[in-house]
Amino acid sequence: MSATDRPDSATFDLTWLDLREPADRRARNQGLVTKLADLLAAAEHGADGLAIVDLGAGHGASARALAPHLAGPQRWILVDRDAALLAAASERLTDVVDAAGRPIAVGAEVFDLAHGALDEAIEGADLVTMSAFLDLASRGFAERLAEAAAAARALVLATLSVDGRLAIEPSDPVDTAIFDAFNAHMTRDKGFGPALGPRAPDIASHVFRANGFRVELGRSDWVLGPEDAGLAAALVDGWATAAAETDLVDRTALARWRERRAAEAAAGRLRIVVGHLDMLAVPTIR
Ligand SMILES: C[S@@+](CC[C@H](N)C(=O)[O-])C[C@H]1O[C@@H](n2cnc3c(N)ncnc32)[C@H](O)[C@@H]1O
């Protein structure tokens, strides 16, 4: 789960991933993508071209967003524990091309990243990507990933990790209590141990630097307006549900906030900012 995902479950339905994909696409940090593309273009790859492993791939959003910006040929392996999402991803990537307009090759692997060996999951990768995934994993996962990526000399691009910044305009006196409760809820175990939640960018940067990577962070905030009414309504609902589960907010105040905010979201009257950071980690010994 990511802070921008429905906080009531650690499973992800296709409807929700579809709802968030346009906002994710607008938010992705293009400066880091350009740097990544330049680094990969300057490096040597195997005979089959660039090997990319996408962790927690869901319905394939990372490949759709990144492949057209990177030189080819490209071979993507999508890794997720949810076979149905991977099946949807394979169907939805058939017309995706690399920067030169050539189709990308796509494979999928059902794999539990909380328990499986990460050196197996990323074997042969030049680049490891993930999107809206790191914040639901744990510090232990970040450490195992950094070790495996260092051993493989792979670059890592972890996009759309929440950093705890949340804002709604017009503001409401109960917002801060809801956001604090939601950020606390984000650190609950999603299968990897206590989740990194809003500290994901900070902790992962530290862990990757300690494993010999040069790390750069770039903002990838969601900025939602009237045209994102469906996503805004889903966020308000998810935040309220999570806050209720923490028991940190007065129940009556929470119920009234949910009602007010749901009506405003449906009417397209909210401007919402959800803070995210993208992280590019480059091994210093390549
Ligand atoms: C918020 S979704 C992000 C999906 C996709 N990367 C995107 O940007 O749309 C998180 C994904 O992580 C996957 N996931 C969660 N826990 C996992 C685990 N232990 N092993 C493998 N995948 C996992 C979920 O199935 C889901 O597809």
Question: Using a 6 Å cutoff on CB, does residue 155 contact ligand 1?
Answer: no
More confident residue, 86 or 42: 86
From CA 179, how far away is CA 5, in angstroms rounded? 14
From CA 156, how far away is CA 269, in angstroms rounded? 38
Instruction: Please determine, for residue 26, whether its predicted confidence score (pLDDT) is greater than 50.
Output: yes
Mean pLDDT computed over 57-78: 97
| Percentage above 90 pLDDT, the chain | 92
Instruction: Please determine, for residue 5, whether its predicted confidence score (pLDDT) is greater than 50.
Output: no
What pLDDT score does 7 carry? Answer: 38
What string of DSSP letters covers 121-186? HTTT-SEEEEES-GGGSBHHHHHHHHHHHHHHT-EEEEEEEEEEEEEEES--TTHHHHHHHHHHHT
Residue at 58: amino acid letter: G
Torsion sign over Cα 109, 114, 115, 116? positive
What number does the ligand 1 atom closest to the CA of 17 have?
9
Question: Using a 6 Å cutoff on CB, does residue 2 contact ligand 1?
Answer: yes
From CA 61, how far away is CA 1, in angstroms rounded? 15
Instruction: Please determine, for residue 56, whether its predicted confidence score (pLDDT) is greater than 80.
Output: yes
Question: Of the residues 80, 120, 134, 189, which should be mutated to test ligand 1's pocket, given the most ligand atoms within 8 Å of the CB?
Answer: 80
From CA 109, how far away is CA 84, in angstroms rounded? 11
Q: How confident is the model at residue 48 (pLDDT cuts 50, 70, 90)?
A: confident
Q: How confident is the model at residue 45 (pLDDT cuts 50, 70, 90)?
A: confident
Mean confidence (pLDDT) of the chain? 94
What pLDDT score does 37 carry? Answer: 98
Mean pLDDT computed over 238-259: 97
What pLDDT score does 218 carry? Answer: 98
Instruction: Return the closest-CA partner of residue 155 out of 119, 128, 134.
Output: 128
Question: Which residues, 6 or more positions from 130, have their beta carbon under 8 angstroms from its beta carbon?
Answer: 54, 55, 56, 62, 157, 158, 159
Question: Using a 6 Å cutoff on CB, does residue 56 contact ligand 1?
Answer: yes
Give the containing element (helix H, strand E) for 213.
Answer: strand 213-219
From CA 281, how far away is CA 196, in angstroms rounded? 18
What pLDDT score does 6 carry? Answer: 43
Residue at 200: amino acid letter: A
What pLDDT score does 163 carry? Answer: 98
What number does the ligand 1 atom closest to the CA of 56 have?
12
Residue nearest to atom 15 of ligand 1 (CA): 56
With beta carbons less than 8 A apart as the criterion, state whether 203 and 279 touch: no
Gap from CA of 60 to ligand 1 centroid (Å): 10
Instruction: Please determine, for residue 8, whether its predicted confidence score (pLDDT) is greater than 70.
Output: no
Instruction: Please determine, for residue 164, whether its predicted confidence score (pLDDT) is greater than 90.
Output: yes
Mean pLDDT computed over 187-210: 97
What pLDDT score does 3 carry? Answer: 37
Tell me whether residue 71 is exposed, middle or buried, using C-beta atoms within 10 angstroms of its C-beta: 0 to 12, 13 to 18, 19 or more. Answer: middle
Q: What angle do CA 56, 63, 143 make, to 5 degrees?
A: 40
What pLDDT score does 12 carry? Answer: 84
**DSSP code, position 2:** -
What pLDDT score does 30 carry? Answer: 98
CATH code given to domain 14-163+193-223+276-283 = 3.40.50.150
Q: How confident is the model at residue 206 (pLDDT cuts 50, 70, 90)?
A: very high
* Residues 103-131 pLDDT 10s: 999 999 999 999 999 999 999 999 999 99
